[in-house]
Amino acid sequence: MATKPIPVRIPDDSLDQIDAAARKLTTNRGRLLAFSVQTFTEFFEERQTCAMPPDWREILKNLAANRPPSKAKGKK
């Protein structure tokens, strides 16, 4: 999948929070931001409405319920 850099201004204190969350999730800032945007837009497209701030627990629960179960590697 091709990607394109998008310049976004994020306050330094928010970057610290994003970086800390990314470390806990063993990912990086860019992947965490991309995941957040993609997850939010999928939910918004489905519902055509959103309150701010978004209810991430509802978003993630809804997305998980609508996806087929993953096949675990190495298990029969």
The answer to whether residue 41 sits within a structural domain is yes
Phi, psi of 69 (to 5 degrees): -60, 145
* pLDDT tens for each residue of 7-53: 889 998 899 999 999 999 899 999 999 888 888 888 888 878 777 77
pLDDT at 76 over 50: no
| Other Cβ atoms within 10 Å of 36 Cβ, number | 15
The answer to whether residue 17 sits within a structural domain is no
The answer to whether residue 33 sits within a structural domain is yes
> What's the domain count of the chain?
1
The answer to whether residue 50 sits within a structural domain is yes
* 3 state SS of 20: helix
Q: What is the pLDDT of residue 46?
A: 81
The answer to whether residue 31 sits within a structural domain is yes
The answer to whether residue 44 sits within a structural domain is yes
The answer to whether residue 59 sits within a structural domain is yes
pLDDT at 72 over 80: no
Q: Which of 31, 32, 36, 34 is nearest to 53 (CA)?
A: 36
> Can the peptide bond before residue 7 be classed as cis, meaning omega within 30 degrees of 0?
no
